[in-house]
């Protein structure tokens, strides 16, 4: 199920911010498919809720991959947009993901460092152990939070923001995200999603300067996510 102006899952909104729990399959920003992106859906939501005539301003600050779900923040003012862009650029945000992988990593918790090379034609990134030409350093930390029947659930903190970083880095250590055919999963998920969810985003409010923590829960209609939540994982 894709997001619409009627069913969009709003986590938080004020005069400066709109924070959404993105569904797997939603595009954040328009691409060559021509599908209606989440930013336009959110504009429709604002226009209807506040009866706004004319164009609604909503700035895209960051993106999630189409098959990924979770927290996405939009800026409702140009001031908020410029400040949020600077925060993301300067890594003044904390991003926490949940990932379900097909093979448990060797270590229960660790920091992974790779050097990423993006291939735009394939829309794919390759993680190398050592620095190679055109590569960018990628760092994340993870810990095991649940062992499910056939999979392992991880909590992941991103320290850099590279293209397909989590997907590529876990594939590089042999722990492919469930459903992620692009990075080596044996089978796809029936809805085209992958089991990667942006669970929490922490930052300072761009105008009020107050610490904010936005939390999104994954789709509990999905038995794997339901099993994770039912396992006693309580990090909301």
Q: What is the H or E stretch that residue 40 is in? A: helix 38-49
Q: Please identify every residue annotated as catalytic.
A: 65
Whether 115 contacts 131, CB under 8 Å: yes
Identify the CA nearest to 19 among candidates 70, 89, 57, 93: 70
Task: Tell me how far CA of residue 24 lies from CA of 63, 98, 122, 155, 196, in angstroms.
Answer: 12, 14, 21, 18, 9
The whole-angstrom separation of Cα 50 and Cα 117 is: 44
CA-angle at 200, arms to 160 and 151, nearest 5°: 85
């Amino acid at each position: 199920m894709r997001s619409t102006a009627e069913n969009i899952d709003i986590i938080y909104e004020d005069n400066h911010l709109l924070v959404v729990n993105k569904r797997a399959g939603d595009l954040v920003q328009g691409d060559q498919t021509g599908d209606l992106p989440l930013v336009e859906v959110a504009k429709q939501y604002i226009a209807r809720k506040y009866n706004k005539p004319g164009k609604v301003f909503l700035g895209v600050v960051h993106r999630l991959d189409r098959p990924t779900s979770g927290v996405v923040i939009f800026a409702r003012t140009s001031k908020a947009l410029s400040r949020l862009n600077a925060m993301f650029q300067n890594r003044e945000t904390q991003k926490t993901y949940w990932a379900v992988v097909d093979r448990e990593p060797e270590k229960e918790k660790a920091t992974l460092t790779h050097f990423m090379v993006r291939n735009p034609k394939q829309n794919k990134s390759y993680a190398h152990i050592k620095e190679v030409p055109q590569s960018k350093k990628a760092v994340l930390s993870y810990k095991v939070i649940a062992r499910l029947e056939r999979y392992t659930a991880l909590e992941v903190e991103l320290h850099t923001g590279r293209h397909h970083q989590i997907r590529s880095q876990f594939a590089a250590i042999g722990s492919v995200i469930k459903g992620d055919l692009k990075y080596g999963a044996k089978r796809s998920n029936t809805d085209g999603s992958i089991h990667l969810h942006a669970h929490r985003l922490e930052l300072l409010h761009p105008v009020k300067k107050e610490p904010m923590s936005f939390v999104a829960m994954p789709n509990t209609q999905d038995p794997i996510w339901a099993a994770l939540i039912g396992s006693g994982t309580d990090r909301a």
